[in-house]
Structure 1
């Protein structure tokens, strides 16, 4: 299917093509708009529009770029743009002549450069400010679909130029924009389509779509989320307000016991509003548990943000006192957490695993027992030997939390490390090599070999300077001898560190780390 540019202009004006509120704003710059015009002119592929055809008008809609569309009663059905909004806005903005923009629209002033050589690569279309326009060279393409404006713009052209511009105009008047249509009243299907075309590697981006049509005007979800974020911000979780997807997952999980897009769309707005206190209590309780029991000091510390969803279900309560944990429940939650991290539980099958865990959390909440922690998970020495230390990866985040849960001590003073600043800052400055890089480089070790998880510990930048880049057997003398055993134990580090044999040390420490990780997953 395809639609002409003139038809696009007509349908946007009469309200048949609309922009749903869940779409992001217009972000293209003038250069991209000019290149789109050039692609249309030269017949290059430039993508299609995906339209959702429905008989139901959404309560919330977005304007088209800088244009406030007229509030007209549309003809039905309506076509909502699921994909291609940037292209549609560019085409409409350049060629429409009826609406006045409400904000900067300089990107719409596109001109055909009559003096430019026809080139397969270089664009013959440019966006120019008025003071740079040369009427004998730059023709305003925005007049192509306005008879009066076109006649006036061509009146001063030479016959050769007028003939050229007529040919260019003819291309655009005959050009069509490819379209794909999703005709359905099933919003679950729409959610899946939107998720797949907008995913770009971000899991469940479709929750942004759902937030726009699930709640009504008397409930400001964004304001409630901001309020919750302000409340937990002093505890390092203020950035939760930036993860709308995560909050909406928690909503669906608490209310519907299912974090899928379809489950959220089936919710009644009144039910969500009525239970939002319960949702907030669940999130607060989950954050408190993570901080108090697992040394998670900020959302960025979580190997998977999805871990917050089942925990929010367990801690959800309509009361104000919060949910009290039994020792058995606490242990089960901790085993579930570590098993989820080491098994990479939420790297694939996210919705399936969430649904299972949500159900088990409800059982644990109600009966005190469940199968929440019974799935298989194994951690061995290879986990630490094969993975590199890279801030932001699941393996590294899990490793850092593992180290933090041993309550590490300073390598120089022997005093406990204040983990709050270390984990909230969450950068490389507080994590350093046990066998220094310069020492290993001197032995011919590659960067890849040096940067394995096994060779890292929580060591402050100041401590690292004190220890220096020398062999461990040398910097051992700079550590407090009376506390040496305790320091090494707190870092899950064997004494073989001081033998200066990298292979032996790596094998020994990897075994210690694996044993500790296994213990976390099986602790009673």
Structure 2
């Protein structure tokens, strides 16, 4: 094992040249943006932030991952390849923040990291923040870290500052240029040695993907787990759930939940490989049944709409049956399944202690399926207006829950009165299909702040084209655009939890009335 030090510049160059790569058995990039900001803060303040572990080899693996949202270039022939065994999240964060050469795929969850020039000296507080956008008035305070090693960008983002602030940023640049990242390099062409290193890293608590290991463990001439996952992914892609096959942790948790009663790939290591092969048709049936139920009964037409992906596991357990057999259940069980779904979404039970919650729900789902006494869906919950005051943010669990609530009220296009093609709209699930009911421009002109404007209760299904039609009009004016003989305006507005008399330019009155309807509908769904 060699011990080396890499500068940030060297890391950037090694990745863009194809020298550093991500093996397929590594999991994808999963850090939240505040964690990325804290990593930069640790580097800046000289706090320990961990090392990287590379496996250096002359042979390129057949299967590799992207680095976050970057597709890596092919390595140059004369270079050996460094595969990242440990530290992928740190490496991806550093590269994504500072690189300027590769073009990333779109990632709505990623935000730029900024240095806060007004941050205090408190060692506990971070001097770096993740922001979606910095207004012109804020450019005196926030410096974008993405231009720190880009001379042109550096100049354009400092020329408007006074000498004191420029000096501060110059020192910031010097610090990041000088910092070195400790790297351990394992040099070996013996893959058995590399496999032992993988396993030992895993035992030390570093979360590596066990799919490759499990695939080899369960392999037989007529059964390849990787092929089974690929086939399942291809099948589910037609229904918007290809992501289940892409997320090996999630699908392995479904396998473990069905076969062992507990989620998590590590649970499968205690099972016999031949048992996994023999029982895999039950797994496929369970996942298919769960997704069919989500799609047809709850309007969850895409995995990215599921507020908490782990919710798929108990449902897969409920629907798991031998090949060719379906679960038969009565109306009471059907209602209990739906109540469990909505109460889980609104209570955010899966936002913490996910494993413990999932194990409990798996047990109760089995009891429900077998007609035995159970508490499945009996979750303490009180939905109130506070839920609908949170901000609309694509990707947030509360926003997904809100969108599904709207979807289950059979919404119609505000302008045409036609029923919205939910499959089309929800498959794309992006900000362009949802807009403010009371226009943002109108509210800003009337002194409302962004949290008040962007609360869930002010959003509805509204395409970009419809939103442009509304433009900067007052609600009392654009209400007239909804009239005519083409459709029943009251019925259309009711499908969006609105009423015509509330489009009177009184935003506070509108919000109060709409939130009351949203709470009432949520109570109906969770009853």
| TM-score bucket of the superposed structures, by smaller chain | 0.5 to 0.7
* Contact persistence 1:283–1:312 (CA under 8 A): yes
- Tell me which of 497, 506, 513 is aligned to 2:518: 513
Give, in angstroms, the shift of residue 463 of structure 1: 2.5
| Corresponding residue number in structure 1 for 2:242 | 238
C-alpha deviations, 1:161-184, integer Å up to 9, x for none? xxxxxxxxxxxxxx99699xxxxx
Provide the rounded CA distance (Å) in 1 between the counterparts of 2:51 and 2:415. 62
C-alpha deviations, 1:185-232, integer Å up to 9, x for none? 9x99975633xx34xxxxxx6554763564235432121111111112
| Corresponding residue number in structure 2 for 1:66 | 58
Matches of residues 133-172 of structure 1 in structure 2 within 5 Å? Answer: none
- CA gap 1:379/1:209 in 2 versus in 1, 3 angstroms: farther
Matches of residues 55-94 of structure 1 in structure 2 within 5 Å? Answer: 64-67=56-59
Aligned residues: 367
Provide the rounded CA distance (Å) in 2 between the counterparts of 1:339 and 1:237. 23
Give, in angstroms, the shift of residue 469 of structure 1: 2.6
- CA gap 1:23/1:382 in 2 versus in 1, 3 angstroms: closer
| Corresponding residue number in structure 1 for 2:175 | none
| Corresponding residue number in structure 1 for 2:117 | none
TM-score by length of 2: 0.63
* Contact persistence 2:249–2:265 (CA under 8 A): no
Matched, 1:330 2:334: yes
Matched, 1:104 2:42: no
Give, in angstroms, the shift of residue 427 of structure 1: 1.0
Matches of residues 307-456 of structure 1 in structure 2 within 5 Å? Answer: 307-367=311-371, 370-385=374-389, 387-456=390-459
Provide the rounded CA distance (Å) in 2 between the counterparts of 1:506 and 1:230. 43
Give, in angstroms, the shift of residue 519 of structure 1: 1.3
Give, in angstroms, the shift of residue 255 of structure 1: 0.5
Give, in angstroms, the shift of residue 263 of structure 1: 2.2
- CA gap 1:368/1:495 in 2 versus in 1, 3 angstroms: farther
- CA gap 1:317/1:344 in 2 versus in 1, 3 angstroms: same
- Tell me which of 474, 494, 499 is aligned to 1:489: 494
Q: Which of 496-505 and 454-463 deviates more?
A: 496-505
Matches of residues 168-247 of structure 1 in structure 2 within 5 Å? Answer: 191=202, 193-194=204-205, 197-198=206-207, 206-208=209-211, 211=214, 214-218=217-221, 219-247=223-251
C-alpha deviations, 1:69-103, integer Å up to 9, x for none? 9xxxxxxxxxxxxxxxxxxxxxxxxxxxxxxxx98
Give, in angstroms, the shift of residue 453 of structure 1: 0.5
- CA gap 1:271/1:64 in 2 versus in 1, 3 angstroms: farther
* RMSD of aligned residue pairs (Cα, Å): 3.5
* Contact persistence 1:188–1:262 (CA under 8 A): no
Provide the rounded CA distance (Å) in 2 between the counterparts of 1:193 and 1:297. 38
Q: Which of 305-314 and 374-383 deviates more?
A: 374-383
Give, in angstroms, the shift of residue 329 of structure 1: 1.3
| Corresponding residue number in structure 2 for 1:172 | none
* Contact persistence 2:252–2:264 (CA under 8 A): no
Matches of residues 251-266 of structure 1 in structure 2 within 5 Å? Answer: 251-266=255-270
Provide the rounded CA distance (Å) in 1 between the counterparts of 2:81 and 2:318. 52
Give, in angstroms, the shift of residue 446 of structure 1: 2.5
SS at match of 2:393: coil
SS at match of 1:273: helix
Q: Which runs of at least 4 in structure 1 moved beyond 4 Å after TM superposition?
A: 3-6, 19-25, 44-50, 175-179, 187-192, 205-210
| Corresponding residue number in structure 2 for 1:471 | 474
Larger Rg: 1
C-alpha deviations, 1:281-338, integer Å up to 9, x for none? 0010011100110001111111111111111001111031422332111111110001
* Contact persistence 2:285–2:319 (CA under 8 A): yes
* Contact persistence 1:282–1:314 (CA under 8 A): yes
SS at match of 2:488: helix
- CA gap 1:176/1:108 in 2 versus in 1, 3 angstroms: closer
Provide the rounded CA distance (Å) in 2 between the counterparts of 1:405 and 1:306. 21
Matched, 1:276 2:280: yes
- CA gap 1:405/1:222 in 2 versus in 1, 3 angstroms: same
C-alpha deviations, 1:19-38, integer Å up to 9, x for none? 9994579xxxxxxxxxxxxx
Unaligned runs of 5+ residues in structure 1 are 7-18, 26-43, 51-61, 70-101, 110-174, 180-184, 199-204
- CA gap 1:493/1:238 in 2 versus in 1, 3 angstroms: same
| Corresponding residue number in structure 1 for 2:505 | 500
